[in-house]
């Protein structure tokens, strides 16, 4: 290991108080960098390294299978090394500062399969039990309108018209939007309202607790999680996952991207486009399950 690099690693360990594990990752990346130069017949001369040298090394590492996260860490290790050397006047510039960090792929939104949510909505419940009727209504509202958790909690009773099949949502930045819904949800809301009259709510919210107070986030999370878990769902089971599910189901069944954007209350189409990747992956999954030759290997 080059003496300059070794001194930098000791600085991280003893002056910056980084853990042995973290310093070990820096050592790995900088050692690979030094070995790459050596394989090209060069010694590590920190003052002569160029941005082009670093880019060429990253391309080499990418060809060897390093992913975006690993490549980002290598650039960050070199940037940190040169910042250290700049502060000590040992170099005149930081060649790694001009290298763009590799972009990390955005994780696809999590969603629940239609059959799972159908099992929750179609399950037998006591239609005279306020809590059971309300809890199923919570799941239905998320799944059938795509509203956010904050929007559901703040949904006013007067903003929900079951005759017209519309609800008015106060979204982000206090922007209102109208979200349509079907007869099934309207019937469930009417049934819930009949039972809620016995609770005598103290507020104007559509959804309330047994004491007549507005719902709160942890209660809604628990309702969604428990309802989906009982239907056999696994993984992250949250209100936002049901919002994702609404979007992917709408697109899977032919809704236009702009329509889904308006229903979700997104400011830009880019925020909605992520769901096209979900629907494509779902379509591919269904194709592989359904088509008899989909998984046959080529000859």
* Residues with catalytic function: 148, 172, 240, 243, 266, 275
Place of tokens 């050592």: 27
Which of 261, 242, 239 has the alpha carbon at shortest distance from 251?
261
Contact between 90 and 47 under an 8 Å Cβ cutoff? The reply is yes
Q: How far apart, in whole angstroms, are the C-alpha atoms of residue 91 and residue 81?
A: 11
* SS3 letters across 200-217: CCCCCECCECCCCCECCH
CA distance 287 to 102: 32
Here the tokens at position 13 are: 């360990």
For residue 180, what is the enclosing H or E element?
strand 176-180
Contacts of 112 (CB under 8 A, 6+ apart): 228, 233, 237, 241, 242, 245
Complete edge-to-edge strand list for the sheet that includes strand 176-180: 160-161, 166-170, 176-180
Closest C-alpha to 44, from 2, 96, 80: 2
The CB density around residue 143, as the number of other CB atoms within 10 Å, is 21
């Amino acid at each position: 290991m080059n003496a300059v690099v070794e001194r930098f690693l000791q600085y991280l360990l003893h002056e910056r108080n980084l853990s042995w594990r973290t310093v070990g990752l820096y050592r790995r990346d900088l050692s690979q960098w030094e070995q790459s130069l050596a394989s090209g017949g060069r010694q590590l001369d920190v003052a002569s390294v160029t941005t082009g040298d670093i880019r060429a090394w990253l391309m080499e590492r990418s060809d060897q299978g390093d992913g975006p996260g690993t490549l980002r860490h290598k650039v960050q290790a070199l940037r940190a090394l040169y910042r250290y050397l700049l502060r000590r006047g040992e170099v005149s510039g930081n060649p790694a500062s001009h290298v763009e960090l590799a972009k990390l792929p955005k994780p696809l939104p999590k969603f629940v399969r239609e059959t799972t949510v159908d099992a929750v909505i179609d399950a037998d419940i006591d239609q005279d039990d306020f809590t059971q009727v309300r809890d199923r209504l919570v799941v239905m509202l998320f799944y059938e309108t795509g509203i956010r958790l904050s929007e559901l909690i703040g949904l006013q009773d007067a903003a929900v018209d079951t005759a017209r099949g519309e609800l008015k949502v106060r979204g982000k930045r206090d922007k209102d939007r109208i979200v349509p819904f079907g007869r099934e949800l309207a019937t469930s809301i009417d049934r819930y309202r009949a039972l809620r009259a016995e609770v005598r709510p103290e507020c104007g919210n559509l959804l309330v607790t047994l004491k007549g107070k507005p719902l709160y986030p942890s209660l809604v999370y628990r309702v969604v999680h428990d309802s989906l878990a009982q239907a056999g769902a696994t993984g992250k089971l949250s209100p936002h996952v049901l919002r994702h599910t609404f979007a992917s189901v709408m697109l899977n069944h032919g809704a236009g991207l702009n329509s889904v954007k308006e229903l979700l209350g997104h400011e830009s189409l880019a925020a909605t486009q992520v769901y096209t990747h979900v629907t494509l992956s779902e379509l591919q999954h269904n194709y592989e399950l359904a088509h008899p030759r989909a998984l046959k290997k080529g000859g």
